[in-house]
Amino acid sequence: MSNPHAAAVREVFLTGHRTGRAVAPSHFLAVRESPRPALQPGQVRVRNDFLQLTAVMADLMSEKPGLPMPAYPVGEPLWGGAVGTVVESAGRLAPGTVVQHMNGWREESSGDASLFYPVPVEVLPAPEYVLNQGVTAYHGMAEVAAAGEGDVVFVSGAAGGVGSLAGQIAKARGARKVIGSAGSPEKVKYLVEELGFDAGINYREGLVRERLAELAPGGINVFFDTVGGSQFEAAVQAAAQHARFALCGALAGQIDGGTGGFPRLDIMTAIVKQLRILPFATLHTSEQLAAWGAHYGRWLAEGKLVFPHTIIDGGLDAAPAALDALLEGRYRGNVVVRLH
Ligand SMILES: NC(=O)c1ccc[n+]([C@@H]2O[C@H](COP(=O)([O-])OP(=O)(O)OC[C@H]3O[C@@H](n4cnc5c(N)ncnc54)[C@H](OP(=O)(O)O)[C@@H]3O)[C@@H](O)[C@H]2O)c1
């Protein structure tokens, strides 16, 4: 718990590079206290209320993650999305302002006020609703795949942070049918009953290719892939002519290792169907942020979308083990740790 009079701030830091996927991320994380910095002109101090956890954080713990974002330095606290409240200000944000920022994994963050973005609390049911992966989901589904009216869409990893929003975005844009894959019957039920997917596939049970043939006999027009591996290969076989594949991630390789990130491409089928295979990286440009921002609050208010999320209690100390549990598939949707 953050104490306004304390001389120290609690934070989670990286104790060493993660060398392989066999060892859980929490093995390389520890909580410590660091001196609380004095506030400089222009700076604010923020009590962090919620921290966002995402699968990519585990990749960023390795020395060379090969991603379009900086790896976590050893000996430093991790960075990541957080929501907090300004508690002290020598800058342009008044105490009490609810803000979003990227200096998570600590109970309190200080810095120039320009690093902290006011949360539009008036259009959201709760501040933690901003800790979602909608920017990526929207970019991939709306702009890369251009999913819309009449499309038959398949989302892999559909109960995860990105996938759970990607499927709902396709529905909100008028897709005819949205199919999602997930790793348990409970998650498949969640997709259909709570997120409005038309059908779900438990990829651990039977062949995804056969289930897709049953559920989409005319083929899929859009594939939003967060998994790679055999699900990508199945989607090529299930694709309709000119289908668009938005490649977002390769969870099967990122989490389990192996060849998940190196699916085999049936080139002749891809040529005959003239597939458009479109890998993308969402860099959170101001345009990408604005595009999602223009839809999220409105779709929530109109009931076209829910914020799929799991809240973890237990404060900062619970965060390392929660990252392990995220990779093990124990949560649904976007994962948020309540810090206070
Ligand atoms: N391109 C971009 O700009 C961009 C931006 C952000 C994120 N990403 C990527 O998007 C993907 C999703 O990220 P996220 O944070 O939303 O992660 P996430 O889906 O929440 O990741 C956790 C889920 O991965 C699934 N999983 C674990 N092992 C699996 C396996 N072997 N095969 C299939 N699924 C497995 C589990 O679900 P089940 O229980 O259903 O198996 C688990 O719940 C990641 O690959 C991430 O790197 C890309």
Which atom of ligand 1 has the smallest separation from the CA of 161?
16
| Residues in CB range of 86: below 8 A, 6 or more apart | 44, 45, 46, 93, 94, 95, 96, 97, 99, 116
**Is 289 inside a domain boundary?**
no
192: in domain: yes
- Whether the pLDDT of residue 198 is over 90: the answer is yes
In angstroms, what is the span from residue 157 Cα to ligand 1's centroid? 6
> In sequence order, what are the residues at sequence separation of 6 or more whose Cβ sits closer than 8 angstroms to the Cβ of residue 25?
18, 57, 58, 61, 320, 323, 324, 327
pLDDT at 258 over 80: no
**Region class of 205: left (phi > 0), else alpha (psi between -120 and 50), else beta:** beta
* Tally of structural domains, the chain: 2
Question: Which is the closest atom of ligand 1 to the Cα of 334?
Answer: 20
pLDDT in tens, 62-116: 999 989 998 999 999 999 999 999 999 999 999 999 999 999 999 999 999 999 9
CATH (domain of 199): 3.40.50.720
The residues that bridge with 276 in the sheet, in sequence order, are 244
Residue 211's pLDDT band (cuts 50, 70, 90):
very high
Final residue before a domain boundary, out of 279, 297, 319: 279
Q: Is residue 177 in some structural domain?
A: yes
Residue 87: both structure tokens together: 């508690």
Residues near 163 by Cβ (< 8 Å), separated by ≥ 6? 137, 155, 156, 157, 180, 224, 226
Q: Are residues 156 and 265 in the same domain?
A: yes
Å from CA of 217 to ligand 1 middle: 27
Is residue 92 within 8 Å of residue 116, measured between CB atoms? no
Least confident of 112-116, 215-219, 255-259: 255-259
Domain that holds residue 262: 134-279
**Are 180 and 200 in contact, with CB atoms under 8 Å apart?**
yes
Q: C-alpha angle with apex 131: 125 to 8, nearest 5 degrees?
A: 110
Q: Does residue 292 belong to any structural domain of this protein?
A: no
pLDDT above 60 (res 237) = yes
Residues 62 and 94 in one domain: yes
Q: Do 128 and 196 share a domain, yes or no?
A: no
In a domain, 225, yes or no: yes
Taking all residues of the chain, what is their mean pLDDT, rounded to a whole number? Answer: 96
Same domain, 106 and 139: no
Residues 29 and 106 in one domain: yes
Q: Are residues 62 and 144 in the same domain?
A: no
**138 plus 128 within the same structural domain:** no
CA-nearest residue for atom 2, ligand 1, is 281
Per-residue pLDDT, 1: 47
* Domain's final residue, options 264, 279, 294: 279
Residue 139 and residue 118 share a domain: no
Q: What is the pLDDT of residue 3?
A: 58
- Residue 139 and residue 108 share a domain: no
> Same domain for 199 and 67?
no
Same domain, 84 and 203: no
Is residue 239 within 8 A of residue 223, CB to CB? The reply is yes
pLDDT at 272 over 60: yes
Kind and range of the H or E run holding 35: strand 29-35
By the 8 A CB rule, do 144 and 130 touch?
no
Residue 222 within a domain:
yes
pLDDT tens figures, 129-138: 999 999 999 9
Mutating to test ligand 1, I would choose from 245, 251, 309 the residue with most ligand atoms within 8 A of its C-beta, which is: 251
For the cut 70, the answer to whether the pLDDT of residue 335 exceeds it is yes
Q: Report the SS3 class of residue 37.
A: coil
Per-residue confidence (pLDDT) for residue 7, from 0 to 100: 83
Query: For the chain, what percent of residues have pLDDT higher than 90?
Result: 93
Residue 310: is its pLDDT beyond 90?
yes
**Pocket flag, ligand 1, residue 334 (CB < 6 Å):** no
Residue 293 lies in a domain: no
**C-alpha of residue 55 to centroid of ligand 1, in Å:** 6
Q: What is the per-residue burial (b if ≥16 Cβ within 10 Å, else e) of 278-303?
A: eeeebeeeeebbebbbebbbebbeee
Q: Which amino acid belongs to residue 167?
A: G
Residue with tokens 């304390």: 6
Question: CATH no. for residue 331?
Answer: 3.90.180.10
Check: pTM over 0.85? Answer yes or no: yes
109 domain residue, yes or no: yes
CA–CA gap between residue 31 and residue 61 (Å, rounded): 15
pLDDT greater than 80 at residue 5: no
Atom number in ligand 1 closest to CA 333: 20
Name residue 160's amino acid: G
Which residue among 279, 299, 329 closes a domain?
279
Quick check: 282 pLDDT over 50?
yes
CA 108 to centroid of ligand 1, rounded, Å: 28
Give helix 286-301 / helix 161-172 axis angle, nearest 10°.
70
> Angle of helix 208-215 relative to helix 229-238, nearest 10 degrees?
30
Same domain, 72 and 118: yes
Nearest to 55 by CA among 280, 312, 316, 334: 334
